[in-house]
Amino acid sequence: MSKITDFFKEVYAESKHITWPTRKQAIYATIAVLAISLFVAYYLGALDFGFSRGLEKLLLLK
């Protein structure tokens, strides 16, 4: 039981050294992640749509 207690004491001590972002930084980072995620999703969706249409037309030519 001592090892578990020591572990959590060390975790608590190390958590004091964390430099947390400000609220403004956290909001900007969240917005950036959401914007990039939406862009990548749109881009991959467009690629998927284009490739599926192209493959469909290619297969119907036979």
Which pLDDT belongs to residue 62? 57
Contacts of 29 by beta carbon, 8 Å cutoff, 6+ apart: 21
Cβ density class 8-43: b for 16+ within 10 Å, e for less: eeeeeeeeeeeeeeeeeeeeeeeeeeeeeeeeeeee
11-15, 34-38, 54-58: range with highest mean pLDDT: 34-38
Contacts of 21 by beta carbon, 8 Å cutoff, 6+ apart: 29
Arithmetic mean of pLDDT over the chain:
94
Q: What's the CA gap between 23 and 15, in Å, rounded?
A: 18
> Which pLDDT band holds residue 4 (cuts at 50, 70, 90)?
very high
> Which pLDDT band holds residue 5 (cuts at 50, 70, 90)?
very high
